[in-house]
Amino acid sequence: MAVTRAATGLVMAGFGLAGCGASGAHEARMVSLPTTITSQHVAWGPCKGLPSPQPGQPAPASGFDCGSVRVPLDYSKPQGEAISLALIRTRATEPGRRIGSLVFNFGGPGGSGVETFAQAANGYKALGTRYDLVSFDPRGVGRSDPVTCVDDKQMDELSAMDSSPDDAAEEQAYTDEQKTYDQACQTKSGKVLPYVGTLSAARDMDVIRGALGDKQLHYFGISYGTWLGGNYAHQLPKNVGRAVLDGAVDTKIDAIDLDLQQAAAFQRALGNFGTACAKLGPQSCPLGTDSGAVVGAVGKLLNDLDAHPLPTQSGGRELTQSLGLTGVSAALYSKQLWPVLAQGLDEAVEGGEGTTLLALADLQQGRSENGRYNNLIAANTAISCADTTDRYTVDDVKKNLPRFQNASSVFGQSMAWSLLQCTNWPVKGDDAAKEVSAPDAAPIVVVGNTGDPATPYAWAPALTRELGGDASLLTLKGEGHGAYDTGDPCVQKNVNAYLLDGKVPQNGSTCP
């Protein structure tokens, strides 16, 4: 997954280009850890409060175990305060052939690995034959000292606000909201904000590796998880076991170019959806007879929502332009959601109701049916802003706005304004974690999807080059965010053969 703060209205970008916001981050990698940290073993026990598996995805037969590890809050002061990271696992179903643990990060940044794994574990059951499958909530996320900023009512208000200002008054409201939100984060979570960056999270994974009893870290990272895994390999190349990075992030381009490429990728994905929708005919897709007409209809709907939000069946909430944009983008993450998007657009255009698009937006922003938000948006902001020194101004946005609108008529304007996400953030940030070169690591398999909207395909060969050494690129000619979870049999065969049997796919291999 890839996200930005809900207040931008477009929950997709979210990738900073740098490291830990804590002072001494570069030196922290060289500091030895106390035995209270390095001698831990996970005390597994029953899990509490897990979400139900996704529809059609039964829970693993072996069930879930939960546990935790302690890690230093500040790695430059390893004897100081420690925090707890939440873990979840399923045990290998063929223990006699067990390789070790396979650790997952599903992306974000800010996504809960515990909650996501509880819902999606069945999708990795082939890998669970020879591995204990393990996921975790990174520092600042979910059950691991979560960053908090505002309450649920305020989140509803922020997510509905205009994310693409059209005049001076709207610009002022947008920037005022940014400042208010940032101040709230500092007030509620100031203690942890400097320490939630990627450098520290990568170090945490090595503590987890040791606590699991593994000599090397076997790892499956998706989206932001590819950046986290790449930085781990850079810091600790000799500790890398078998690693797959799916839905790659290019950490070496600046934030403006990154967001421009992402805006163009979402526009492409919307066009591909438009082609598929138009082929269904006017009964199922009354938006147009070709891709251009469908995309144009979506753009008109979103423009109309700016002045005329649609009613919904969600407790009196309205579908605003920002929420509509988020709902559309959410459905582009998976081709399986395209029929839901078609339904939601039909419902909005023909029926004048925004319930389905609002549900998609809520799904993307971590809002449950009872109106409670998880801390995805807060953690995403904190990690993204700790991981970059980029701090843009309104003038920067206006200067680049034509480029964004050229890249995407639908998503470009909101993406441009999202550059202000970290402008007033209380943590300075630094540019260390963008380093992912790991020529001395064991072979790392990078997987890219040509139709990926959130992590554009060009980032996959770029990350493969940046890793260096024996890194190998596997390409899927498909649609959706990431490749393995699309269910493509060729991708899953290659990835499974590598993780289970050590067979590295030839660099440049293509599926299907």
Q: Which of 219, 243, 411, 222 is nearest to 325 (CA)?
A: 411
Phi, psi of 318 (to 5 degrees): -110, 155
Under 8 Å between Cβ of 397 and 416: yes
Domain total of the chain? 2
Q: Decide if 68 is inside a domain.
A: yes
Point out the residues of the chain with pLDDT beneath 70: 1-30
pLDDT at 11: 37
Residue 170, token pair as written in the block = 């709207």
Rounded Cα–Cα distance for residues 189 and 333 (Å): 30
**How many residues in the chain?**
512
Assigned domain for 298 exists: yes
**For position 308, what pLDDT does the model report?**
97
DSSP, collapsed to helix, strand or coil, labels residue 458 as coil
In a domain, 360, yes or no: yes
Angstrom distances, CA of residue 46 to CA of 43, 68, 93, 131, 334: 10, 12, 18, 19, 32
DSSP letters for 175-239: HHHHHHHHHHHHHHHTTTGGG-SHHHHHHHHHHHHHHHT-SSEEEEEETHHHHHHHHHHHH-GGG
Q: Are residues 221 and 355 in the same domain?
A: no
Residue 342, pLDDT score: 96
Query: With helix as H, strand as E and coil as C, how does 229-297 read?
Result: HHHHHHHCHHHEEEEEEECCCCCCCCHHHHHHHHHHHHHHHHHHHHHHHHHCCCCCCCCCCCHHHHHHH
314 and 204 fall within a common domain? no
Query: Quick check: is 377 in a domain?
Result: no
* Residue 218 and residue 309 in one domain: no
Cα 76 to Cα 382: distance, rounded to the nearest angstrom: 19
pLDDT in tens, 64-110: 999 999 999 999 999 999 999 999 999 999 999 999 999 999 999 99
Residue 382 lies in a domain: no
| Same structural domain, 491 and 445 | yes
Residues 332 and 438 in one domain: no
Catalogue the active-site residues.
Answer: 223, 452, 481
Is the preceding peptide bond at 512 cis, omega within 30 degrees of 0?
Answer: yes
On the question of a cis peptide bond just before residue 505, with omega within 30 degrees of 0, the verdict is: no
Q: Which of 306, 340, 365 is the last residue of a domain?
A: 365
What string of H, E and C letters represents the secondary structure of 9-71?
Answer: CCCCCCCCCCCCCCCCHHHHCCCCCCHHHHCCCCCCECCCCCCCCCCCCCCCCCCCEEEEEEE
| Mean pLDDT across the chain | 93
- pLDDT at res. 138: 98
**3-state DSSP of 290-304:** CHHHHHHHHHHHHHH
Query: CA-based angle 388:9:261, to the nearest 5?
Result: 55
**Residue 503, domain CATH:** 3.40.50.1820
Q: Indicate whether 245 and 291 sit together in one domain.
A: no
- Whether residue 102 is found in the same domain as residue 246: yes
Question: Looking at the domain assignment, is residue 398 inside a domain?
Answer: no
Residue 96: partners with Cβ closer than 8 Å, 6 or more residues away: none
Instruction: Give yes or no: residues 341 and 436 share one domain.
Output: no
Query: Is 88 in the same domain as 25?
Result: yes
Domain enclosing residue 67, as ranges: 18-146+193-250+432-511
pLDDT recorded at residue 55 = 80
Widest CA span in the chain = 67
Give the pLDDT confidence score for residue 25 in this predicted structure.
40
One domain, residues 117 and 227: yes
Supply the pLDDT for residue 56: 79
